A and B are shown apart, each in its own frame.
Chain A
Amino acid sequence: MVVINRYKDIIACIALLLLSAAVYYNTGFIRVFEPNSASYINGQFFPYLLSGALCLAALIQLFNSIRELHRSPADKDSVISRGALIRIVATLVILAIYTALLSTFGFLIMSMLYVFVQVIVLSPKGRLNLPVAAVLAVVSSGAIYFLFTQVLTMVLPRPPFMPF
């Protein structure tokens, strides 16, 4: 089963228009050095310029995308399998959990868990080898932790219950 999104270009252009509007709106809150000065060359100048240029470029691209939509059928890149979609969402969720729990459980434990679960998610059907995934998770995370903390004397997130 596949998911086809022929409108992705149009959705992207609308998102860009919203972003340019957000940049324009937030630029108004930037404190300028001399608010009463007649000079327009201040901290707001460049963001205003960028939001205007982004809005204009997004409008041109929106026009092009609508024209293309009527002219050509969906290209193969618009097609994505449901399995792939699940893997992408799962990867994003795993990465978000990894980032969120890093300060609580520390780099070593979270990295081991992350590598193990990510290998499971990415492995093609019939190729999943759990013992290999487990060994890879422990060895790679351990080696990286040791290299950076012991050899290169870098500080990595560490849980309170871990002595080293």
Chain B
Amino acid sequence: MFEQAVSLLMANPMSFFWMVIGVVIGIVFGAIPGLSATMAVAIFLPVTYGLTPVVGMACLLGLFVGGISGGLISAILLNIPGTPSSVATCFDGRPMALNGQADKALGGGIVFSFLGTLFGVVALIFIAPFLASVAIKFGPHEYFAVTFFSMSLIITLSSENLCKGLIAGLLGMVFATVGLDNIEASRRLTLDINQLRSGFNVLTVLIGLYAITEVLENCKNVSDNEDAELQDVTMRGFGISVKEGLAQWWNGIRSAVIGLVIGILPGIGGGTSNIVAYTVAKNNSKHPERFGKGELAGVVASETANNAGIGGAMIPLLTLGIPGDTTTAVLLGGLMIHGITPGPLIFEKHGDLMYAIFVLLLLSSFTMLVVEFVGLKGFIKVLKVPKYYLLPVIVILCAVGAFGLNSRIFDIGSVLFFGVVGYLMSRCKYPLPPMILGFILGPILEVNLRRGLTSSQGNFLDFFSRPISGVLIGFTLLYIVYSIYRVMASRRSILITE
């Protein structure tokens, strides 16, 4: 199959060009605080409309890999994580930079980002086809159970407030209900607006919630990063010696496994894995007291874990059609725009493209390594560009993206609407990821629930009598009860303290 994938790539040589462009832009988006890999993929999705599927995916995968890795630059040099995936990189990366070891922190971070991505992609290559062969036996009951499990994880883990997470998820599902019913094709909640017959597109929701919300957030805190204290970094070689790199082998492997496993679980991607890997590295270190004061192991743990999650998040996306995080949710949109529906049959229907995606991910990680080392000075300069110049340009790119979907100005209006919704939600501290995943998973949940109930004459107990769905739903219910108990226990302890 790899031969066919290579032939496909050779027949589309522009893939390599767009992949490099994607990696460079992704790193820029990752490095600038407030912009993220998700936003990069969402905004540049329209660029792929006119490209062939493989060339389009090359661009999007480059953006994904670059966007996750780019966050380390501002984390180390500004003490502001470019993306949530690099929060733990600040803990030791910034102290290292202040100790005059910025080159070592950046070099170590970039090398282990690369190794983490490589680990995740290799795991993806081996796990995805196997999981697809298992998932091919899934019926509506099993699909409902997996989606229900995913939604529960997203809601409980993405917010401190369980209730707000649930509301955000439900809101996403309500917006996904607008349009034609997937089974009976009747109009639902369209308020007699013709443009709403096809419902809201996932891209308009994503662009609105991320990009427009970010612009409105910036209105609140107008700041100028022209004066940001950015030190000049002179990199010799990889910044770290071979001995220093080899000393981190176990830390790297452990963090990569943590990143991969957390990446596979829906809803919790690099934003969580980097902190978990950092904590594990600190707890298992012979010198935990050095952490937080400039320890290379801290940077290695964080950067390996968040990049290993890239391959992890792609596993449920490709094999089940269930995105692991918000970035893979946009990638799902990208695949569907090009007529590819992820799921268990994807290896049979689009095997060459799937293996081309694996090859492109591997190539993107190599490109990321080279581009970050060669272009580091350039990326540092980009950090100095004020956001009040960048954001308006991003908004017009969003408008192009929304308009390009159906050539309707109505979609640009939808972006604006979701931008306002997103801003109001973030003002009231409602998390956005459950809303996005609710929007994407809602229709999958509904269709499989209705199909399952129809096949069992309306008897919901059938969902429990099948082994896979029964175990998954039972586990999910136990997990929900445990989460509620945990919230109530912590609330009680706060009350006792007060």
Contact = CB atoms under 8 A, between A and B. Distances in A.
Given A111-B399, A127-B386, A8 B427 contact: yes
Max chain B CB contacts within 10 Å: which of A16, A91, A107, A157?
Answer: A91
Nearest to A31: B186
Interface residues of A, number: 68
B465 interface: no
Interface in A142-164: 144, 148, 152-157
Given A91-B215, A141-B396, A144-B400, A47 B388 contact: no
B47 interface: yes
Given A96-B416, A115-B392, A156 B186 contact: no
B222 A123 contact: yes
Nearest to B218: A122
Chain B interface size, as a band, is 35 or more
Nearest to A52: B170
B189 interface: yes
B403 interface: yes
Contact of A136 (B51, B393, B416): B393
Max chain A CB contacts within 10 Å: which of B170, B188, B400?
Answer: B170
A99 B413 CA distance: 6
Interface string B427-455: 11110000000000000001001100110
Contacts of A144: 393, 396-397, 400
Interface stretch (B110-118, B161-169, B333-341): B161-169
Interface in A6-43: 8-9, 12, 16, 19, 23, 26-27, 30-33, 39-43
Contact of B163 (A23, A50, A64): A64
A56 B68 CA distance: 37
A157 B220 CA distance: 31
B489 interface: no
A9 B428 contact: yes
Nearest to A133: B389
A144 B136 CA distance: 43
A71 to B, nearest CB: 8
23 contacts: A27-B188, A30-B181, A31-B186, A32-B186, A33-B186, A45-B450, A46-B177, A46-B449, A47-B174, A64-B163, A84-B219, A88-B423, A92-B216, A95-B416, A99-B416, A107-B400, A114-B396, A118-B391, A118-B392, A127-B224, A136-B389, A148-B46, A157-B409
Interface of B: 46-47, 49-51, 163-164, 166-167, 170-171, 173-174, 177, 181, 183-184, 186-189, 191, 212, 215-216, 218-224, 226, 386-389, 391-393, 395-397, 399-400, 403-404, 407, 409, 412-413, 416, 419-420, 423-424, 427-430, 446, 449-450, 453-454, 458, 498
Q: A-B pairs with the 9 shortest C-beta distances? A: A122-B388, A87-B219, A118-B392, A43-B181, A152-B50, A46-B446, A115-B392, A33-B184, A12-B428
